[in-house]
Amino acid sequence: MLFDTHCHINTDKFKDDLEKTINSATKNGVKKMLVVGFDHKTNENAILLAEKYDFIYATVGFHPSDAKKISDKDFTILEKQLQHPKVVAVGECGMDMYWDKTFVDEQINVFQRQIELSLKYSKPLIIHMRDASEVTYNVLSEYNGLSGVMHCYTGSVEMAKMFIKLGLYISIGGIVTFKNARVSKEVAEFLTLDKMLIETDSPYLAPHPHRGKRNEPSYVKLVAEEVSRIKGIPYIDVAETTYNNALKLFNIKE
Ligand code: NI
């Protein structure tokens, strides 16, 4: 059993073969999927998919790259969507210094508002962090009682320890399968299974041997296999423990 805790099958990249993609995931042992929203359109689509399939769950949030565009009205809509029973987390939200460093304050503000919603509704955070370990940590560490996950984590082992201390899980994605991904492999080796989730982040970052092509939820199996290899533990332990971690974090009853 596998839980892809981060996929974007709610985007146009899957508009022609969505049904096929979902079936292929199911056939490859993916028992549950979390479809992650990052703007109005993808938030809405995530909810529609969660309503249609009982094994799909949704998240709603605003991506840091859009922080300048987000208004109070947007947050009113988000807060309403968050109360949907199949919306199990807030995000993806966070900090991104890779694409643009010119509106850090706006990013921090939009992130903080989503952290506050996470605490208010007791729904965990899906945290995006790109070239922004320090500022992401500084924003998060202002709060107590956090729950959530550092999605597709590419930071250092040292930072991973600090995020775990804040109460967060670390999610491993397809990058761990890349030959040159030394730090990601180190993180997978260091993490104990009880702090780990796995994901695809499809359509992005497809694992080896699909690198460069469109990613899809069935490939989460390749992530679990690589973690099993790196840690020298049975595949089934990686699959089952990360699956159960996800049920616990997202408060999903089977
Ligand atoms: Ni994502």
Note down pLDDT in tens along the chain; length 254 residues. Answer: 999 999 999 999 999 999 999 999 999 999 999 999 999 999 999 999 999 999 999 999 999 999 999 999 999 999 999 999 999 999 999 999 987 788 999 999 999 999 999 999 999 999 999 999 999 999 999 999 999 999 999 999 999 999 999 999 999 999 999 999 999 999 999 999 999 999 999 999 999 999 999 999 999 999 999 999 999 999 999 999 999 999 999 999 98
* CA 34 – CA 59 distance, rounded (Å): 7
7: three-class secondary structure by DSSP: strand
Distance 7 CA to ligand 1 centre (A): 7
Tokens representing 148?
């959530």
Name all domains of the chain by residue range, CATH numbers in brackets: 2-249 (3.20.20.140)
Q: Are the C-beta atoms of 75 and 97 separated by less than 8 Å?
A: no
Give the amino acid at 196. M
Q: Are the C-beta atoms of 199 and 176 separated by less than 8 Å?
A: no
Instruction: Please identify which residue in the block is written with the tokens 């807030």.
Output: 90
Distance 92 CA to ligand 1 centre (A): 6
Distance 147 CA to ligand 1 centre (A): 18
Judged on CB neighbours under 10 Å (0-12, 13-18, 19+), 13 is middle
Q: Using CA of residue 21, residue 22, residue 26, residue 29, what is the dihedral sign?
A: positive
Q: What is the DSSP string of 28-51?
A: TTEEEEEEEP-SHHHHHHHHHHHH
Helix (H) or strand (E) holding 82: helix 72-82
* Phi and psi, residue 56, nearest 5°: -110, 135
Distance 6 CA to ligand 1 centre (A): 6
Q: How many CB atoms lie within 10 A of CB 242?
A: 26
